[in-house]
Amino acid sequence: MTQPQQIWPPEFAERYRARGYWRGETIDGILAARAAATPDHPAVVFDDGQWSYRDLDTRATRLAGGFTRLGLARGARVLVQLPNVPEFLAVVFGLFRAGLLPVFVLPAHRRIEVEHFGRTSEAEAYVIPGDHGGFDYRTLAREVAPQLPSLRAVIVAGDPAEFQSLDELGAGAGLPDGHSRPADVAFLQLSGGSTGFSKLIPRTHDDYLYSVRESAVICGLDASTVFLATLPIGHNFTMSSPGYLGAIYAGGTVALTRSPSPDVAFPAIAQHGVTITGLVPPLALVWEQAARQTPADLSSLQVLQVGGAKLTAELARRLRATFPRAVLQQVFGMAEGLVNYTRLDDPEDLVIHTQGRPISPDDEVLVVDDAGQPVPDGKAGHLLTRGPYTIRAYYNAPDANAAAFTPDGFYRTGDIVTRTARGYLEVLGRATDMINRGGEKVSAEEVEDHLIAHPLVHDAVVVAVPDPFLGEKTCAAVVRRDETLKMTALKAWVRERGLASYKIPDQVVFVEAFPETAVGKTSRRDIRAMLRDRFAAEAAARQAT
Ligand code: OOB
């Protein structure tokens, strides 16, 4: 297996360097520079604790030493599945410092996902919390470790049981700066998973830091910034748009909340004087309701970002009314690269109706029809993109790469958008069979594979159905072999296979047969329409009673 790489054609790489986008810096180097400049400034605040830049840098250096002593050589992959705790930052910067590659597994992922990421990345170590959110990650590690022959160590931030303790790993001598290299891959991010399993996205220090620097400017960050990591900290949005890296780049402070729920997050905003945070639309809906009657003082909030899935104009308007002191900012990004923002001084109609415009003048954006021909501004088409922080290939995925990239290197985002004359994008939906469950991406194909594995399931199709809360949720249309199969049993069975909860179908509808297209393919479009009609009729019937 080859070492993860990300290669742009030389003429592009030269241009991106000449224009000052790629500056030859490393992510851990940014932390070291901040620790040298403002060692006592709080880098991370949480519950009742805080670490200064000096503390965070020292911890990262020691962990870099600890990981290296485990026998991990430069470029080795390490699964990191930590929640929003300060140890996440120490681990991730420690790995960068040692030239090791974190793979950002989300806390919601379970056996099937962790095994998949572990195997495809050939991970050599796995970092977990002990207990978190009522789940024991050591139990998960016991299940997956035997399936991953490359794995040498499981490291626990918490009670380690038979595994290794993170505290002990970080207790020995440190490893100084200088092991990571700017043009090298810094980490593997997870794709939203438009076809089957998530793919691994190799991002370099150079390309990622460009997006972080520009995001920090676009979002108005400086040393007085307090960024609250509300969404899972391993996700690309929380990491770099502008995320915790933007806050650290600007010399500000990262605040952590263990739960995004208003009863935990609102007091954290008041306690730490949070100035900016990012939400997905379903969470924004919950916050908007809760903010109307909270006793917590939210007046420090200057920027409220919403991204990851489509924000309706209605909710955008309400958020502006309920958080009058904060500027609403829409963020339309993808772990593969391209990120669009509405700007802080944009007029109201752009902020409410668009998902922003790209970060860079060198972000090339094409909106094309099914035949690949550009469509005029204002017309819907497929969004393709190429640029100084958008990947040219996934890791170790030749088939996916052939499908996801054009021969001249444009990434096919799978999103259907319109573009205005000024380059603002509006997202209309997905062209592919990925369901955006309030920002959590569910691959229809992946869930179908599990359903079809059930002995009493003849065939299954998973589609998005509209949901007032999540935007979209998953509905499985299932042709069963035997009427004894019931919805609850089927859901429980999928869960037991070890799939993350958010991928368990929200609804299951049993049907006799699937509608077909003219050539006899199962028509997802017709199934979608059928289910939509059915749910609409059910809702109307409920209202009538
Ligand atoms: C972010 O990244 P991913 O990789 O989890 O998902 C990317 C996909 C996009 O292709 C699009 O389908 C959808 O999520 N999406 C949006 C959106 N932001 C993302 N759809 C409509 N409106 C938006 N504002 O989700 C992500 C990465 C960086 C920053 C923000 C979000």
Q: Which pLDDT tens digit goes with each residue over 338-368?
A: 999 999 999 999 999 999 999 999 999 999 9
Specify the ligand 1 atom closest to the Cα of 306: 24
Q: Tell the residue nearest (CA) to atom 2 of ligand 1.
A: 334
Q: What average pLDDT does range 403-429 have in this prediction?
A: 95
pLDDT of residue 538: 84
pLDDT of residue 517: 59
Which CA distances in Å does 101 have to 62, 126, 144, 178?
A: 17, 12, 20, 15
**Is residue 228 over pLDDT 80?**
yes
Structure tokens at 281: 């639309």
Helix and strand totals (H; E) in the chain: 18, 27
C-alpha of residue 139 to centroid of ligand 1, in Å: 32
Element (H, E) at 170: none
User: For residue range 514-529, what is the model confidence (pLDDT) as tens digits?
Assistant: 887 555 667 777 888 8
The 3 state secondary structure assigned to 6-70 is CCCCHHHHHHHHHCCCCCCCCHHHHHHHHHHHCCCCEEEEECCEEEEHHHHHHHHHHHHHHHHHC
Does residue 413 line the site of ligand 1, with CB under 6 A? yes
**Is residue 196 over pLDDT 70?**
no
Does residue 197 line the site of ligand 1, with CB under 6 A? no
Q: What are phi and psi of 235, to 5 degrees?
A: -75, 150
User: For residue range 454-509, what is the model confidence (pLDDT) as tens digits?
Assistant: 999 988 889 888 888 898 999 999 999 899 999 999 999 999 999 999 999 999 99
pLDDT of residue 444: 85
Specify the ligand 1 atom closest to the Cα of 241: 29
Q: Tell the residue nearest (CA) to atom 5 of ligand 1.
A: 192
Residue 301 C-alpha from the chain's centroid: 23
User: For residue range 310-339, what is the model confidence (pLDDT) as tens digits?
Assistant: 888 988 999 999 998 999 999 999 999 999
Portion of the chain with pLDDT greater than 70, in percent: 98
User: For residue range 443-454, what is the model confidence (pLDDT) as tens digits?
Assistant: 887 898 789 889
Dist CA 211 CA 362 (whole Å): 12
Q: What are phi and psi of 475, to 5 degrees?
A: -130, 125
Q: Tell the residue nearest (CA) to atom 8 of ligand 1.
A: 334
pLDDT of residue 197: 72
C-alpha of residue 427 to centroid of ligand 1, in Å: 10
pLDDT of residue 460: 87
Specify the ligand 1 atom closest to the Cα of 430: 12
**Ranges 250-254, 267-271, 310-314: which has the least confidence:** 310-314
Does residue 417 line the site of ligand 1, with CB under 6 A? no
Q: Tell the residue nearest (CA) to atom 7 of ligand 1.
A: 334
C-alpha of residue 154 to centroid of ligand 1, in Å: 31
Q: What average pLDDT does range 101-126 have in this prediction?
A: 96
C-alpha of residue 309 to centroid of ligand 1, in Å: 6
pLDDT of residue 542: 83
Does residue 386 line the site of ligand 1, with CB under 6 A? no
Specify the ligand 1 atom closest to the Cα of 189: 4
The DSSP letter of residue 195 is S
Q: What average pLDDT does range 173-189 have in this prediction?
A: 91
Does residue 334 line the site of ligand 1, with CB under 6 A? yes
Pocket mutation for ligand 1, best pick of 280, 311, 330, 332 (most atoms within 8 Å of C-beta): 332
Does residue 333 line the site of ligand 1, with CB under 6 A? yes
Specify the ligand 1 atom closest to the Cα of 311: 22
Structure tokens at 448: 């179908």
pLDDT of residue 1: 55
Q: What average pLDDT does range 380-409 have in this prediction?
A: 96
C-alpha of residue 426 to centroid of ligand 1, in Å: 12
**SS3 of 279, please?**
strand
Structure tokens at 366: 């094409």
pLDDT of residue 448: 85
Structure tokens at 178: 């200088």
pLDDT of residue 194: 45
C-alpha of residue 464 to centroid of ligand 1, in Å: 16
Structure tokens at 297: 């003082």
C-alpha Rg value of the chain to the nearest Å: 23
Q: What average pLDDT does range 268-285 have in this prediction?
A: 94
Q: What average pLDDT does range 221-242 have in this prediction?
A: 97
Q: Tell the residue nearest (CA) to atom 20 of ligand 1.
A: 309
**Is residue 536 over pLDDT 90?**
no
C-alpha of residue 366 to centroid of ligand 1, in Å: 17
| Mean pLDDT of all residues belonging to the chain | 94
The residue that leads in pLDDT, 528 or 386, is 386
pLDDT of residue 521: 61
Does residue 351 line the site of ligand 1, with CB under 6 A? no
Does residue 328 line the site of ligand 1, with CB under 6 A? no
Q: Tell the residue nearest (CA) to atom 14 of ligand 1.
A: 308
Q: Tell the residue nearest (CA) to atom 25 of ligand 1.
A: 308
Element (H, E) at 313: helix 313-322
